[in-house]
Chains A and B, each alone.
Chain A
Amino acid sequence: MPSIINDNPYLPVQAKVESTDFESDDKTLKTLTFSFLTPSVREKFNFLPGQFIELSIAGKGESPFGIASNPTEELIKITVNRTGYVTNAIHNLYKGDIVGIRGPLGNWYPISKFVGSNLAIISGGFAFTTLASLLDYLLENYSDKLGKIYLIYGARNPGMLLYRDKLKEWSNNPRLETYITVDNKVNDWDGLVGFVPDIVEKADIDIQNTYTVICGPPIMIKLTIPKLLNKGIGKDHIYTSLERRMKCGIGKCGRCNIGKNFVCKDGPVFSYADLEGLPEEY
């Protein structure tokens, strides 16, 4: 496991806000990028898609965020939903403000398993962050090692889709089949309409030798997995990234466990086979 960048796993490393931009039209989602105050830290901060950081605002607290940037990018990028005490403070950050970062935390998408197979990336809402990182990374470094690549991604409405520039690029990229959907029909949207689980059901995915990765709100995961199983995709070919309330992020405070695994330390990436039989606490 890539090691956490500070000897004391509770102590954040100082970083600087490089940019802040609204990601969604309703301004509830904001994308921020960070650089470490000490440049040599970035070399040690080796992460893989799927991992997360705990972003610390001194005096407000910490929250976990999946890393949305490609590991080969210089800056660390996250997208934050304004929903509570800490995320409010994050939305109020300016370029140049000092924050703390603990990470990289958690495990990562098992790319070595995907090699040689098809891959379907399925996501909903603003949980798309780590999957965007994964897709970018794979297209850049593993394009010749993977079979067909599918992207199925949906949001409540067009204004809530993340990384729309990237989405356009990917829609025009012949290397992958993209299905971008919104929950309800709106004007100016001539793409797909429908909930992600339904689009997954209808999509023509080659199920032979295909891995799937799902990341979204709990309800979306709970509705999509049965559709995949119905299509004939095996439990060990379904991967998901779970979210839970977290505090320590390193498997000590006890709160994010599902069974004997901690979402922060043994996850957040789990296969459906791992989760079977465990309390559905996600």
Chain B
Amino acid sequence: MNNDKLITEEIREFGRKAFKEENVEIIIGYESLNDNSLKPAVIYNENEVNKLTWNQTASFNLATLLRKFKGKKTGIIANGCIGRSLVVLINEGQIKRENLVIIGVPCQGILNENNEELYENCMSCKYPSPPIFDYIAQVEPLKVQGDTLGERIEKIEAMSESEKLSYFKEQMNKCIRCYACRQACPMCYCETCFVDINSPKWLSKEVTNEDNTIWNITRIYHLAGRCVECGACSRACPEGLDLMYLIGKMNRDTKRLFGFEAGLKIGTKGNLETFNPNDPDFFWKGES
């Protein structure tokens, strides 16, 4: 709690500097609602800097908003998740590093809807601080608390084939194909998503278990080596699909099979964007 106040003061100071000295045109951050929960906000000048707030309800991934402000010199508040998203977007040529002024926050973890526990992906977070920044608040970041998500994924993986299939189908039944998961994700920036292409037609507009499966699996695999496991998709989903499990499993497979985690270093290419002769290649060597 104390850290929240400290962080808020520091980011306001950095925000002022960003406008005065770095000539940013806007800053993307969070502002506080009446109940002290945070919502994303865009501020346009120095006079609004005192709106910027940080606390443990900062659950929206701000990097998603950058695509609306292309070409503008932008300040952005960034914890580990947002910072890693920025690295991926820079590596993929979506934003220029020189157009960003990154105001870093060593994350203290984000509280879930009941405001008492951290989200499960926060519990095992290894990268609470942004890997790149121009300013950073001087506080200690969250330490790893446990691996609730990993354990939960292992439990599901230990189920029988039919149990696993049944769980997966249950999730697909919930999907209403609103595409909020796609819109909330900073890395889903395709000008025309594959679902909106009709030549060839990859899936129909019908909400069936089969088409929902194509949608969810394809989106998740399009994120292999690009997803930073921020959880924005899972929180945006109005139906409560267990996206954290699907994304978490895919990320852990990526780590195991390619030794790769997204968004840690500028200049690296995602595992599906390049070929490394030293790839473990378990899948065609017959081992698991």
Residues of A within 8 A of B198 (CB): 84-85
Residues of B within 8 A of A85 (CB): 198-199
Binary CB contact string for chain A from 48 to 90 against chain B (1 if under 8 A, 0 otherwise): 0000000000000000000000000000000000001100100
The interface size of chain B toward A, counting residues with CB under 8 Å, comes to 2
Residues of B within 8 A of A84 (CB): 198
Residues of A within 8 A of B199 (CB): 85, 88
Q: How far is the CB of A238 from chain B (nearest CB, A)?
A: 36
Binary CB contact string for chain B from 187 to 222 against chain A (1 if under 8 A, 0 otherwise): 000000000001100000000000000000000000
Complex Cα distance A222/B198, Å?
A: 31
Complex Cα distance A84/B199, Å?
A: 9
- The A/B interface has a contact count, at CB < 8 Å, of 4
Q: Which residue of B lies closest to A88 (CB)?
A: B199
Q: Which residue of B lies closest to A61 (CB)?
A: B198
What class of interface size applies to chain A in its complex with B?
A: under 10
Residues of B within 8 A of A88 (CB): 199
Complex Cα distance A88/B201, Å?
A: 14
Binary CB contact string for chain A from 95 to 122 against chain B (1 if under 8 A, 0 otherwise): 0000000000000000000000000000
Interface residues of B in 24-60 (CB under 8 A from A): none
Interface residues of A in 196-253 (CB under 8 A from B): none
Complex Cα distance A84/B192, Å?
A: 15
Q: How far is the CB of A133 from chain B (nearest CB, A)?
A: 30
Q: How far is the CB of A248 from chain B (nearest CB, A)?
A: 15
Complex Cα distance A85/B198, Å?
A: 7
Q: Which residue of A lies closest to B199 (CB)?
A: A85
Complex Cα distance A218/B86, Å?
A: 38
Q: Which residue of B lies closest to A86 (CB)?
A: B198
Complex Cα distance A85/B199, Å?
A: 7
Q: How far is the CB of B196 from chain A (nearest CB, A)?
A: 11
Q: How far is the CB of A187 from chain B (nearest CB, A)?
A: 37
Q: How far is the CB of B163 from chain A (nearest CB, A)?
A: 39
Q: How far is the CB of A182 from chain B (nearest CB, A)?
A: 32
Complex Cα distance A84/B201, Å?
A: 13
A interface residue numbers (CB < 8 A to B): 84-85, 88
Interchain residue pairs with CB less than 8 A apart (4): A84-B198, A85-B198, A85-B199, A88-B199
B interface residue numbers (CB < 8 A to A): 198-199
4 tightest Cβ-Cβ pairs between the two chains A and B: A85-B198, A85-B199, A88-B199, A84-B198
